[in-house]
Amino acid sequence: MPFSWEYSQQGPKDNNFDFNKAWTQVEKFIKEGLPQSALEKVEEIHTHALAEKNNPQLVKSIIYISRLSINTDEKGIEKSIDRLQQIIQTTDAPVKQITASYLAELYQKYFDNHRWEISQRSELTGDQGLDFRTWTTKQFLRTIEKWYLFSLEDKKAVYIDLDQYETILNNYDQEAKKFRPTLYEVLADRAFEFFQNYDSYSNENAESFQINNGSYFEIGKKFVALPLKAIDESSAKFKVLKLYQDILANQIDNKNQEAEAQYDLSRLTYTYQNAAIEDKESVYIKSLTALSDAHSDVEYYSEIAAVLAGQIRGNANDSLANNKAIEICEDAIKKYPKSIGAAKCQNIINDIKKTEHSNFW
């Protein structure tokens, strides 16, 4: 994930209130071990951000208030969750969407920290209670999923240039922005991470969605246009592929080829790892080849080439596998010599030659 919500000292200066000066004071209190003083200062920032409708500063203050409340109050987690839910109900986009994603993260962290204890509880039927401390695994995951998906429901509301929200992002990188140009992609990545890391908790049954058809290995527009149907749409695999369709369609519509290439490679890898079809290795290689051909005119081609070469190299049934892998890598290095993918390709070439030399002796 290129970006995440983190403490960040940077922030634009408003004409009516010096946010930079205020945040500097907050950081000073935190470093001095005075979280309560820091919290009081952030509450002041929050009030000014609300009054001046400064959404980036408002979001930043919401995140800080939540984290500092948890550190200073024995019931901080409960109070933070209640407050975040109230903010979602009373604020406009994109504040409510970002807050919903952060609320999902908060529930997720609580679940991770108490996973064993929660796993001992029997699953209940009917409506879940309001006290999340008594929830079961299913209740937690259902709620986490709900808020991550809520953050993406109104795509137009979060299709906002990422530069406007630089202040809330950790390790903001202008180079990475070409892959994640708007808030929409950042929020989608957070949802992807949840679904892909927690799909083992998905309730698989005879009617659950399965990646059991070679058509799921289509690339670009063909994959986006693919009808995804399932009797049981609660499957994590179904939701991940639907989300990939949405995010890829958005990159294609906006002609963001670098981001399209990266998302499609990620999606193909996920499909390969979760597919239940015969000869999926050869199907995967065929799709990677098509993907590399489709994006040979952008730098990310070298990343695709590295994955393709690595996959071909692993084919024990192809006596020419190493030669093919080297050829693919050399082409990528020639086209984009300074790219990250080129460095990966060079490592593959070096490893092949080292292995061959070792086998010779």
Tell me what the mean pLDDT of segment 56-64 comes to: 96
Considering the domain boundaries, does residue 192 fall inside one? Answer: yes
- Residue 67: its pLDDT value, please? 94
Considering the domain boundaries, does residue 296 fall inside one? Answer: no
Considering the domain boundaries, does residue 349 fall inside one? Answer: no
Q: Does residue 3 carry a pLDDT above 50?
A: no
Tell me what the mean pLDDT of segment 37-58 comes to: 96
Residue range(s) defining the domain that contains residue 90: 1-203
Q: Which of 32-41, 56-65, 156-165, 242-251 has the lowest mean pLDDT?
A: 156-165
Q: Model pTM?
A: 0.86
**Hey, CA dihedral for 71, 76, 81, 87, is it positive or negative?**
negative
Considering the domain boundaries, does residue 51 fall inside one? Answer: yes
Q: What average pLDDT is seen over the chain?
A: 89
Q: Does residue 261 carry a pLDDT above 80?
A: yes
Tell me what the mean pLDDT of segment 236-254 comes to: 93
Q: Among the ranges 204-218, 223-237, 280-294, which has the highest mean pLDDT value? A: 280-294
Q: What is the pLDDT of residues 155-185, one digit of tens each?
A: 999 999 988 888 887 665 666 788 889 999 9
- Phi first, then psi: give them for residue 78, nearest 5 degrees: -65, -45
The amino acid present at 298, given as its one-letter code, is V
> How many domains are there within the chain?
1
* Rounded Cα–Cα distance for residues 182 and 3 (Å): 11
Tell me what the mean pLDDT of segment 22-29 comes to: 97
* Rounded Cα–Cα distance for residues 85 and 70 (Å): 16
Q: Which residue has the higher pLDDT, 355 or 328?
A: 328
Q: Does residue 272 carry a pLDDT above 50?
A: yes
- Residue 204: its pLDDT value, please? 63
Q: Which of 91-100, 147-156, 233-242, 314-323 has the lowest mean pLDDT?
A: 314-323
Q: Which residue has the higher pLDDT, 199 or 327?
A: 327
Q: Which token pair is 151?
A: 């953050």
Beta-carbon contacts of residue 240 (< 8 Å; ≥ 6 apart)? 192, 195, 196, 199, 270
Q: Does residue 36 carry a pLDDT above 70?
A: yes
Per the omega criterion (within 30 degrees of 0), is the bond before 94 cis? yes
Q: Does residue 352 carry a pLDDT above 80?
A: yes
Q: pLDDT-based confidence at 15, cuts 50/70/90?
A: low
Q: Does residue 321 carry a pLDDT above 70?
A: yes
* Rounded Cα–Cα distance for residues 27 and 275 (Å): 48
Considering the domain boundaries, does residue 284 fall inside one? Answer: no
Q: Does residue 251 carry a pLDDT above 90?
A: yes
Q: Helices 95-113 and 76-90: crossing angle, nearest 10°?
A: 160
Q: What is the pLDDT of residues 94-105, one digit of tens each?
A: 999 999 999 999
Q: pLDDT-based confidence at 203, cuts 50/70/90?
A: low
Q: pLDDT-based confidence at 22, cuts 50/70/90?
A: very high
- Residue 305: its pLDDT value, please? 98
* Rounded Cα–Cα distance for residues 180 and 116 (Å): 35
Considering the domain boundaries, does residue 224 fall inside one? Answer: no
Considering the domain boundaries, does residue 23 fall inside one? Answer: yes
Considering the domain boundaries, does residue 81 fall inside one? Answer: yes
Q: What is the pLDDT of residues 120-168, one digit of tens each?
A: 887 765 456 778 988 998 899 999 999 999 999 999 999 999 888 888 8
Q: Does residue 361 carry a pLDDT above 60?
A: no
- Give percent above pLDDT 90 in the chain: 68
Q: pLDDT-based confidence at 11, cuts 50/70/90?
A: very low
